Amino acid sequence: MAVAVKTQNLPLIKKIRNIPREEYYVPGHRTCAGCGPALQYKLVAKAAGPNTIFLGPTGCMYVANASYLCTPYRVPWMHTQITNGGAVASGVEAAYQVLIRKGKREGELPNVIVMAGDGGSVDIGLQAMSAMMYRNHDALFVCYDNEAYANTGIQTSPTTPYGANTTFTPPGPAIPEGKKLFPKDPPQLVIGGHPAVKYVATASVAYPVDLMNKVRKALNVQGPTFLHIHAPCPKGWKFNESKTVEIAKLAIQTGMWILYEWENGEYKYQHKPREYKPVREYMKLQGRFAHLQEAHIAKMQAFVDAKLKAPGIPVAVPAPPPRAQA
Amino acid sequence: MFIIPKEKEVPLGCITPAPVTEQTMMITGNWREYRPVIDQEKCNLCMNCIVYCPDACWQLNEAEDEVVWNAKYCKGCLICVNECTTEALSKAYELDFEDGVVRLEKPF
Amino acid sequence: MAKEMVLSGCAASAQAAKMAKVEVICSYPIRPYTALMMELAKMVANGELDAEFIYGEGEHAQLSVVLGASAAGARVLTGSSGVGVTYAFETYSPIAGGRVPVQMMIADRALDPPGDFGSEHTDAMSCRDQGWLMGWAENPQEAFDNCLINYRVGEDHRVLLPQFVCQDGYFVSHIPGKVLLPDQSQVDEFLPPYTLPHPLDPKHPVSHGPQIRPDQGTIMDLQRAQAHLDAPAVIKEAIADFNRIFGRDYSPFVEEYMTDDAEMAFFIMGAHTMTARHAIKHLRSQGVKIGLVKLRFVRPWPTQEVAEALSKFKAVGVVETSTSYGGAMRGGNLLHEVRASLYDLPKRPLTTSFMAGLGGEMVPLKEFYYMADILSEMIKDGKAKKTVYWVGFEAEA
């Protein structure tokens, strides 16, 4: 039985000057000014190029992009429910496998990319994402992480950081820190339980060449791949919209976000700071953390320190021991 | 048979054409309070404004020797000004320009 | 050459899907429909059927996978039963509204609580208002035929609607019956290859399903309503072609049995129709002037045909195999629609309904005799005492 395969080898981008000129996520969308998720969408679409089909689970990148009978997607795009991005992508990929095999479609297997928010990836969308990966569909699942259900008015999601003020975790006298729980770790969820997945990476809008190259590497791999992209949200995190990239960079400089690739079982780290800044530097720019007390910030620092130690990254900032978790 | 007013028409199954270079049904230039202004003398084509614009509103010109701003869609977030490596970009109040956005005349 | 086989409903549906050259299948196990997927899995494994067989992670995923595949341009099949049908509920409206003609075989099953393997129409009937075509098969032959007929109608560009192709769990899905399998050439003549006006294809990019303004929501609803207005003509065409190519004599919407001089009739659909036919034969031998009208499509509901068929009787007993708790008739779903269909007639038959075959209970002959007695009494009294009888559980006989 013939199998439709991708023979493409999207070249890696060496210098920022060489990024592709063509846009596949074009101007004319209703995302907020300074939107991190919109920025990552532009970069992912640019890296993927014309032979691409996007599946868009409900979320900001549906509601704010695909508005009132128009979308900014130059390549085919379909809305999916917030629940089923991975499943619909599985169907699209399976259809192309059989249609190419039967000679009903010509050319290369398209890049099938799910562009899901954190909720559509690791909360209500987790089952569909996991199954797509288990079944070895040749598709890229992108989790653009703005760390909340932003489109519905900034409610907490499983990736919302500890201590964040969201509309479901408002701080008050009884719960001074707002969000008491610590977040899920999406790439580790994927790596830990999906043997069919050979490539997983984290990326950030602060490092666009790195991000685009990770998209291309993921698309060059046969089989399911996963990208976890940090995408700051000015509205949800309460910072000035000109600071989206600055905040994203600070996340990496403080260890709040770690850039790495996991390829065939091996980790490689990118843009690792020589010395980490205290998480306070990152948190103080964001209104969602404005209510926190010193003890809460120390707890966050301890959480980050523990995380940085795990993959063998030295911790520069001494941190107090973590308090009992909520 | 039903009569459907033109302005309420929806294509079958809500399947719409894909845009090519811009989505003219969602013009966002009138959101701006400030606009980025470039001093081409100072620009070294570092590309930051181009890659970091969420709305793809900075592009190289055809000769690839200057960056060009897209006033029609720029929302005025000013990420470009913040990320400019040579201080070639600065912000200016939108209403200081003759072609400045008259806000809320046509919200979106 | 066409050949006769003895097949269960599930096996017959699998044969039909194979002859329809289905391209993407998505499975998830739940009794009783799952036998369909077991058959298809074997066909794929044996190389008899060139299709992608996807192991869905649940019914919601099953529908989502076939939605994606159908939108990309492949003919698809999925299916479910009972709580599996309701688990996927979120997907039904987007599939119908997006005009993606997927086919779902439902071998129906009672809903929880508690677990009950038995057949009941409530699972599928709960989904009837989402814009899908829907109808029941009486036997494995109809299960086979309805699969092909529904692909033909649903994929027609004048319709473009998904299809619930239903059969009673166990009574049809698992009890073998004679099935005339046609030649592949006959199926190919009847069923053209699947095409979609705007598939997901990078060579012709389109956007599927951007948001609309609230004042355009009605238009989306109107589109689906219009498709159901347009579907009957396409169904008639399809049935005429089907009868010609396969040598059958289906009527498109309602089938009548022994109704020529009948004063009363059962209105029924699905597996229990077969028992009803035997009951009618017996009752006729006793001199009772009774017949039956079988419904072939619940959606689109054939208002005109139902009114015409039932107007000639003095009393009609609607056999309900689904529940509508708290509904106007205090029983099932069908009597609502039957009464609505009859409302504009100058002279209406007396109508009532019988809750029978719920939870997978059989509807034995004596229950049909009981129903016939009630109908006779209604004719004698000139009125219906009640709108619903829970057959076998009524305090007064």
Q: Are C80 and C328 in contact (CB under 8 A)?
A: no
Asked whether residue C291 is assigned to any structural domain, the reply reads yes
DSSP labels, A13-39: P-SGGGS----SB-S---PPTT-HHHH
Domain boundary among C246, C263, C279: C246
DSSP string, C239-279: HHHHHHHHT----SSEEEES-TT-SEEEEE-STHHHHHHHH
- The pLDDT of residue B103 is 54
Question: CA-CA distance, C132 to C301, in Å (whole number)?
Answer: 11
Last residue of a domain, one of C205, C222, C246: C246
DSSP symbols for A58-70: SSHHHHTTSBTTB
Contact call for residues A300 and A279 (beta carbons, < 8 A): yes
Same domain flag for C241 and C291: no
Measured in angstroms, the CA of A34 and the nearest CA of chain B are apart by 5
Q: Are residues C212 and C83 in the same domain?
A: yes
The answer, for C192 touching chain B at a CB cutoff of 8 Å, is no
Q: C196 and C315 in one domain?
A: no
Q: Residue B21: inside a domain, yes or no?
A: no
Q: Are strands B34-38 and B89-93 parallel, antiparallel or unpaired?
A: antiparallel
Per the listing, tokens 């396409």 go with C234
Domains and CATH numbers, chain A: 23-296 (3.40.50.970)
Burial class of residue A91 in the structure, from the number of CB atoms within 10 Å of its CB (0-12 exposed, 13-18 middle, 19+ buried): buried
The Cα of B41 is separated from the nearest Cα of chain A by a number of Å equal to: 19
Mean pLDDT on A235-246 = 98
* C contact residues 195-224, partner A, Cβ 8 Å cutoff: 200-213, 216
Bin C191: left if φ > 0, else alpha if -120 < ψ < 50, else beta: beta
Domain final residue pick, C195, C228, C246: C246
What's the gap in Å between the CA of C344 and the closest CA on chain B? 21
Mutation site for B-interface testing, chosen from C158, C223, C224 by largest number of B Cβ within 10 Å:
C223
Contact assignment for C216 to B18 by CB distance below 8 Å: no
- List, as ranges, residues 198-217 from A with C-beta within 8 Å of B: 205, 208-209
What residues of chain A, 213 to 252, have a C-beta less than 8 Å from chain B? 234, 241-246
Q: Report the number of distinct structural domains present in chain B.
A: 1
Which pLDDT does position B97 carry in this prediction?
Answer: 86
Give yes or no for residue A326 having a pLDDT over 90: no
CA neighbor of C73 nearest in space, from C104, C101, C41: C101
d(CA A140, CA A52): 11
Residue B34 falls inside a structural domain: yes
Q: Is residue B81 part of a domain?
A: yes
Q: Do the chains contact at B15 and C226, CB–CB below 8 Å?
A: no
ipTM reported for the complex, 2 dp: 0.96
Residues C145 and C179 in one domain: yes
Token readout for C119 is: 């057949």
Q: What is the CATH number of the domain that holds C181?
A: 3.40.50.970
Nearest Cα of chain C lies from the Cα of A69 at a distance, in angstroms, of 5
Pick from C204, C4, C191, C198: which is nearest to C103 by CA?
C191
Question: Chain C closest CA to A55's CA: distance in Å?
Answer: 9
CB contact under 8 A, C211 and A53: no
- Residues C264, C142, single domain; the answer is no
Would you say residue C274 lies in a domain?
Answer: yes
- Do C167 and C268 belong together in one domain? no
Interface touch B26/A67, C-beta < 8 Å: yes
- The Cβ-side half-sphere exposure at A20, using a 13 Å CA radius, reads 19
Tens digit of pLDDT for each residue in C216-263?
A: 999 999 999 999 999 999 999 999 999 999 999 999 999 999 999 999
* B41-70 pLDDT tens trace: 999 999 999 999 999 999 999 999 999 999
Query: Would you say residue C134 lies in a domain?
Result: yes
Chain C hits for B107, Cβ within 8 Å: none
Q: How confident is the model at residue C67 (pLDDT cuts 50, 70, 90)?
A: very high
Asked if residue C180 and residue C147 are part of one domain, the reply reads: yes
Interface contact B13-C99, CB threshold 8 A: yes
Neighbours of C111 (CB within 10 A): 17
Distance CA C193, CA A213 (A): 40
Q: Is residue C397 part of a domain?
A: no
CA distance A174 to chain B (A): 37
What confidence category does residue A319 fall into, taking pLDDT thresholds of 50, 70 and 90?
very low
B11 min Cα distance to partner chain A (Å): 9
Q: What angle do CA A160, A253, A261 make, to 5 degrees?
A: 75
pLDDT (0 to 100) of residue C2: 83
Intervals of chain B under pLDDT 70: 102-108
Interface membership of C202 toward B (CB under 8 Å): no
pTM score of the predicted model: 0.95
Inter-chain contact B14–C210, Cβ cutoff 8 Å? yes
For residue C352, give its domain range: 254-390
pLDDT at residue B99, rounded to an integer: 78
What does the pLDDT average to over A139-145? Answer: 98
Which of B10, B15, B17 is closest, CB to CB, to C216? B10
Residue of B nearest to A235 (CA): B77
> Is residue C255 within 8 Å of residue C294, measured between CB atoms?
yes
Q: Quick one: pLDDT at residue B1?
A: 77
The answer, yes or no, to whether residue C150 has pLDDT greater than 90, is yes
**Amino acid making up residue A41:** Y
Of C50, C56, C60, the CB nearest to A102: C50
- What does the pLDDT look like over A79-122, one tens digit per residue? 999 999 999 999 999 999 999 999 999 989 999 999 999 999 99
Task: Tell me the backbone φ, ψ of residue C249, rounded to 5 degrees.
Answer: -135, 50
Q: Is residue C396 part of a domain?
A: no
Domain enclosing residue B32, as ranges = 28-94
The CATH number that applies at residue C333 is: 3.40.50.920
pLDDT tens digits for range C261-285: 999 999 999 999 999 999 999 999 9
pLDDT at residue A4 in the model:
64
Cross-chain Cβ contact A91/C213 below 8 Å? no
Mean pLDDT of the C168-190 span:
97
Cβ of C212 and B14 within 8 Å?
A: yes
**What pLDDT was estimated at residue B101?**
72
Query: Please, which residues have CB within 8 angstroms of residue A76's CB and are 6 or more apart in sequence?
Result: A52, A53, A54, B18, C200, C201, C202, C204, C205, C206, C207, C208
With CA atoms as reference, the chain A residue closest to C205 would be A76
- C65 interfacial to chain A (CB closer than 8 Å): yes
Are C300 and C228 spatial neighbours (Cβ–Cβ below 8 Å)?
Answer: yes
Q: Is the pLDDT of residue A3 over 70?
A: no
A310 band by pLDDT with thresholds 50, 70 and 90:
low
Range with lowest mean pLDDT among B53-62, C48-57, C212-221, C351-360: C212-221
Q: Are C15 and C150 contained in the same domain?
A: yes
Same domain, C231 and C367: no
The structural domain count of chain C equals 2
Residue B40 placed within a domain: yes
Residue B28 and residue A38: Cβ atoms within 8 Å? Answer: no
- How confident is the model at residue C170, as a pLDDT? 97
Q: Is residue C395 assigned to a domain?
A: no
Taking contacts as CB-CB distances below 8 angstroms, the residues of chain B near A76 are: 18
**Do the Cβ atoms of A27 and B76 come within 8 Å?**
no
Percent helix, strand and coil across chain C, each to the nearest 5: 40, 20, 40
| Of the candidates A259, A250, A308, A307, the residue with the CA atom closest to the CA atom of residue A279 | A250
- Token digits of residue C268: 């029924």
Chain B residues whose beta carbon lies within 8 Å of the beta carbon of residue A75:
18
B87 located within any domain: yes
Q: Which chains border B (3 or more CB–CB pairs < 8 Å)?
A: A, C
C363 and C337 inside one domain:
yes
Q: Does A152 touch chain B (CB under 8 A)?
A: no
pLDDT at A221 over 50: yes
Which of A69, A78, A110 shows the shortest C-beta gap to C208? A78
Q: Is residue B67 part of a domain?
A: yes
Give a yes or no: residue B11 inside a domain: no
Instruction: With a cut of 80, say whether residue C65 has pLDDT above it.
Output: yes
> DSSP letters of A215-267?
HHHHHHSSS-EEEEEE---HHHHT--GGGHHHHHHHHHHTTSS--EEEETTEE
Residue B75 lies in a domain: yes
Instruction: Assign residue B46 the CATH number of its domain.
Output: 3.30.70.20
Q: How far is A199 from chain C (nearest CA, A)?
A: 22
- Residue C363 to residue C268: CA distance in whole angstroms: 12
B13 close to C (CB below 8 A): yes
